A and B are shown apart, each in its own frame.
Chain A
Amino acid sequence: MAATAVKPLADRLDELRDWLARETPRDLPYDLDARFPRLVEWQRKLYDAGWLGYGWPAEFGGNGGGPTDKVILSVELARAAAPVPAGTIGLEVIGPTLTRFGTDAQRRRFLPPMLRGDEIWSQGFSEPEAGSDLASLRTRAEKVEGGYIVSGRKTWTSWGQFARWCGVLARTDPDVPKHKGISLLMVDMESEGAQTFPLVQMTGDAEFTETLFERVFVPDENVVGQPGDGWNLALDILAHERGPLVVRRQVEIAVGFEGIVENARRLVAAGVLADDARLRERVGRAWAQLRMLEAYAAGLMGHLVHGDLGPEASIGKRLVTEVEQAVFELGFDILGASRGLAEDAVPGMNADKWTRDYLYSRAASIYGGAAEIQRGIIAQRVLGLPRA
């Protein structure tokens, strides 16, 4: 069990860094099915050592602590190039929502196993016909005695195949305007009628699923907030995940950049990459973008202490996406004739990894609200331009 009433995480950074240097698993298999159980173990280890409970209420399995503790932990994990824990969607998306809007009974039931990694969560928002226009979602939740019957199809559900629980947005009231009739339900994926079908991404990994609900019963106590609150909860979730994402991702990109520079040296030494003005300029520019982003993230930490970033978070999301895509494009381009190969022509060049990272970076302007949607939010809700 995690200790209670511990020192603030910010005062234990040296200790945390030492621990991570010792304990971070370095030999994880790439294959997702083999990798996943190791990520669960890793989460458990982080929890048992008392790190993962930071920023979570002490009465529900956490250590207490301030709102930035979670971000500090994720930054230190990124800095140590440690894997993200298996239950990251629960930890970053559903858990914070339950903490803010759940009932005590829900928190007591769901938070401790979520923190320990005993129960993995997924986020079932998008549907084949409802991506950017999420509010037009069609998954229905019909009211019955003691609960709801959920029917519909979700898609691109990250880690869906491993999830015991799925936070599902479903239409509970078809007779009101589309934003008003949506609710957030916690669906037990072991229920009769719930099924997932892994979908392979362009990187080659089956990191998300189609998620099918055929008349799945969900008890009343598994509705988050009030019925009809779903849309506001979804907006709240998206706005809250953006800030911490920027802070963590910024460090991950910086770690990626170090690997890219190291690889560039290797490729230059092997005579397959020219150390010319074009390369130097791109490396220098990527470095400057990262320093810019680091300064932005430092400013963000101050805001996160106060909780909400509001629509401004969309600016951060755009910035981090731009930098991520520029950096990993550089990592890909230096592979030269090996771009897109999954095997190495030069020992150690890791063409497979850098190609995957590049491809994955292209998703950054799609998930969590596509770039165009972010621009719309910035234009209308930050700058106050008129609605079309």
Chain B
Amino acid sequence: MSAAAPDYAQEIQRSAREILARTASTEGLLERLRAEDVSRGAWDAAAQAGWFRLLSGEAAGGLGAGPAELAALFREIGRHLAAGPWVDTVVAAGLLRDHADLGPDTALIGYLPEPGAVVEFAAVADVLVVRGPDSIGLARGALAMPLKSFDLAGRPAQVDLTGATVEAVVEGAEAERVAVAIARLARVARSGELAGLAAAALDMSVRYAGERVQFDRPIGAFQAVQHRIAEMAVTRTAVDSALAAIVTLAASEGTDAEQAALYEYAAGEARTVVLSALQVHGGIGFSAEHPLHAYIKRVLRLQAVAGEGEPLLDLGGRLLAG
């Protein structure tokens, strides 16, 4: 899939971290998320840095990167809780730019994988890409109805295609191939985001446990708290390692069921980490004025997105069937 050198992923990570620290700082996170649907500063910087052509082929002016680079990028997006239709724009649009003109790099893209699916940021998207029975196309005149959500970093909407026209840009077997690639790479991206969120929650907890004083000492000096945070580090490592496995599977054929199962597993582990972070933070973590709940709710939403079917259960059934 990618001929990129292994340290290309590290380079992407470094540059993403630098760009996001500047444009989507976690200082004032809640104000940022309340003030704008899409973290605009980060979005424009991302367009400039070529993130939206990360997966595009060289003919489309892309970087031709693969799943490892994608994972590295989304880890940072998760860590900074940058809001925007990142997955659909980087993955779906990134792959489709090889086939169609989707407008300027700064365009916000939504991708509807099947009728009735919830699409993040569909209501503000410049372009809506739709997977039809035998094609992938661009929809005009679709109606996006925003759904209220607890998640501060996503803007889910339901899409009504009645009365919309869809102009196919890829058809037949090629459409199928692209749709499969989108699904796999979207899972890589979301897993990366989960890993970044878990890492951020761990860091916040370590910091808070060193600062918060009760019974005349930092709470991080209490063994019960230390052990909880140590297990968070272990579970965070499990999320990272599951991400690595998901990246590997993205490049091999016929492994969708396995990849989906690993995503469900990773999301469950990430959830454990952010909920432990809540326990470490006590009452302040439960207060809306503290940013932790934004991380928790994002993880819960990302876990829900994997909720199509029950991948772990299905995979277990396959293994038992032999």
List A residues at the B interface (Cβ < 8 Å): 261, 264-265, 268, 275, 277, 279-285, 287-289, 291-296, 298-299, 315, 318-319, 322, 372, 374-376, 378-380, 382-388
Contact = CB atoms under 8 A, between A and B. Distances in A.
B215 to A, nearest CB: 12
A375 B226 contact: yes
A322 B265 CA distance: 14
Interface in B199-215: 206, 209-210
B223 A284 contact: no
Contact of A280 (B229, B234, B317): B317
A319 B230 CA distance: 12
A283 B233 contact: no
Contacts of A384: 206, 210
B10 to A, nearest CB: 13
22 contacts: A281-B312, A284-B261, A284-B311, A287-B316, A288-B261, A288-B265, A288-B312, A292-B241, A294-B245, A296-B238, A299-B241, A319-B237, A322-B234, A378-B230, A379-B227, A379-B230, A385-B209, A385-B210, A385-B226, A386-B210, A386-B220, A387-B221
A285 B310 CA distance: 11
A382 B233 contact: yes
B273 to A, nearest CB: 13
Contact of B244 (A281, A299, A319, A383): A299
B316 A378 contact: no
Given A280-B316, A315-B237, A378-B233, A287 B261 contact: yes
Contact of A378 (B225, B234, B241): B234
Contacts, number: 131
B315 to A, nearest CB: 4
Contacts of A279: 316, 320
B197 interface: no
Nearest to A296: B241
Given A279-B316, A385-B209, A292 B221 contact: no
Given A374-B230, A386-B221, 12 more contacts: A281-B310, A283-B316, A284-B311, A284-B313, A284-B315, A284-B316, A287-B315, A288-B262, A288-B265, A296-B244, A376-B223, A383-B230
B322 interface: yes
Nearest to B239: A292
Contacts of B265: 285, 288-289, 292
Nearest to B221: A386
Contacts of B218: 386
B226 A376 contact: yes
Contacts of B59: none
B245 A292 contact: yes
B313 A296 contact: no
A265 B320 contact: yes
B144 interface: no
B230 A376 contact: yes
Contact of A275 (B233, B312, B320): B320
B319 interface: yes
Interface string B234-275: 100110011011001000000000100110111000000000
Q: Residue among A268, A282, A296 with the most chain B CB within 10 A? A: A296
B191 to A, nearest CB: 11
Contacts of A289: 238, 265
Contacts of B312: 281, 284-285, 288
A318 B226 contact: no
A283 B320 contact: yes
Contacts of A292: 238, 241-242, 245, 262, 265-266
A281 B313 contact: yes
B286 interface: no
Given A287-B316, A375-B227, A379-B229, A293 B234 contact: no
